[in-house]
C-alpha cells in the first residue's frame, strides 16, 4: 500500500494472497505521483492493482494520484484485476499496457464514488494491449459522484461471462474511446450479446 508517495518503482514482484480473504489487495497506489509498476505476478482475493485518491489523512489532503504507469503484469483475483477510483480526490495521467487478466471477477472497474463518501475525478487514462480469460465483467464504469473523462482503451481482447457495464449521470462519461475491443462469451466463443 503506497500512500502519498513520490517516485515509486515496483518491479518483478510476486504477490500471492489467500483468495478466501477480503481486503487482500496486491498493490494499492493511493495519492502517489511518478509511479511505475512492471513485471509483476499478482494473485489475490481482492483487487490486484488499485489506483486511489484518498489523501485526507496526508499533510496535503488535495494530493492527486498522477503520472502512473503499469505494464507487463499477470493478474488473477476473486474481485477486480484493475480498479481505478476510491477516495475523494483526483486521478489523472495514467498509462496501463501489456497485461494478462486470468480468472478475474472484474477486469477493469472505474468508480468515482465509494461508500457514500466524496467523489474521485478520473481523467487522461490510456489502457492498451490487454488479454483476458475467464473474466466476469470485462469493463465497468460508475460515474455518479464525479466525472470520468478522456479514457482510451485500445486492443483489449477477453473471454468473459458478462458484458460491459456503464452507470453514469448524463454527460459524466466523456471522451471515452474503445478501439479494437473484442469481448467473447466464454461458453459459446462468440461476441457477448451485451456488447456485440
Task: Give pLDDT tens digits for 109-162.
Answer: 999 976 555 689 999 999 999 999 999 999 999 998 899 999 999 999 999 988
Contacts of 193 (CB under 8 A, 6+ apart): 163, 185
DSSP state of 155: E
196 falls in which pLDDT band (50, 70, 90)? very low
- Bridge partners, 21 (sequence order): none
Query: Residue 61 — φ and ψ, nearest 5°?
Result: -70, -5
Task: Give pLDDT tens digits for 145-160.
Answer: 899 999 999 999 999 9
Please tell me the predicted confidence (pLDDT) of residue 19.
82
185 falls in which pLDDT band (50, 70, 90)? confident
Alpha-carbon distances of 113 from 90, 171, 173, rounded to whole Å: 12, 16, 14
Amino acid at each position: 500500500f503506497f500512500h502519498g508517495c513520490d517516485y515509486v518503482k515496483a518491479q518483478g514482484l510476486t504477490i500471492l494472497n489467500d483468495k478466501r480473504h477480503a481486503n487482500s489487495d496486491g498493490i494499492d497506489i493511493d495519492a502517489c505521483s511518478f509511479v511505475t509498476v512492471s513485471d509483476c505476478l499478482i494473485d489475490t482475493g481482492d483487487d490486484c492493482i488499485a489506483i486511489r485518491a484518498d489523501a485526507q489523512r496526508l499533510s496535503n489532503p488535495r494530493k492527486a494520484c498522477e503520472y502512473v504507469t503499469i505494464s507487463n503484469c499477470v493478474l488473477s483475483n476473486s474481485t477486480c484485476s484493475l480498479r481505478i477510483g476510491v477516495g475523494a480526490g483526483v486521478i489523472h495521467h495514467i498509462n496501463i499496457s501489456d497485461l494478462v487478466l486470468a480468472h478475474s471477477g472484474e477486469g477493469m472497474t472505474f468508480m468515482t464514488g465509494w461508500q457514500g463518501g466524496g467523489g474521485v475525478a478520473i481523467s487522461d487514462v490510456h489502457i492498451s494491449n490487454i488479454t483476458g480469460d475467464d473474466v466476469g465483467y470485462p469493463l465497468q464504469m460508475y460515474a455518479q459522484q464525479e466525472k470520468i473523462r478522456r479514457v482510451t482503451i485500445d486492443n483489449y481482447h477477453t473471454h468473459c461471462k458478462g458484458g460491459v457495464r456503464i452507470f453514469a449521470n448524463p454527460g459524466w462519461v466523456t471522451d471515452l474511446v474503445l478501439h479494437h475491443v473484442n469481448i467473447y462469451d466464454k461458453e459459446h466463443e462468440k461476441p457477448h450479446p451485451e456488447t456485440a
